[in-house]
Amino acid sequence: MYLNLLEAMKTEKVTFAQMGELLDCRYQTVSDTVNGVTKKGFYFDDASKIHKVFFPKYDMEYLFKRQ
């Protein structure tokens, strides 16, 4: 589960649908990954895109720390 990413999403008002559109996948896929339903987590390229587009002012390591 990416708790820091969830908090940043709330703060910046970014939705799973927006992230899904960026990554060219369903919002449910993004939701499952962020909430820890899937074990694989984000691939580096996808995490980089999310960071660059939605959260450039956040530290990437902080955002994608799994808990």
Question: Looking at residue 6, what is its pLDDT?
Answer: 97
**How far is it, in rounded angstroms, from Cα 55 to Cα 8?**
8
CATH assignment of the domain containing 42: 1.10.260
Question: Looking at residue 4, what is its pLDDT?
Answer: 98
Question: Looking at residue 42, what is its pLDDT?
Answer: 95
Domain that holds residue 59: 3-63
DSSP-assigned letter for residue 64: T
Structural contact between residues 53 and 45, judged by C-beta atoms closer than 8 angstroms: no
Q: Count CA atoms closer than 13 A to 23's CA, side-chain side.
A: 26
DSSP track, 15-59: -HHHHHHHHTS-HHHHHHHHTTSSSS---HHHHHHHHHHH-TTS-
Question: Can you give the pLDDT of all 67 residues of the chain as single tens digits?
Answer: 999 999 999 999 999 999 999 999 999 999 999 999 988 999 999 999 999 999 999 999 999 999 9
Question: Looking at residue 54, what is its pLDDT?
Answer: 98
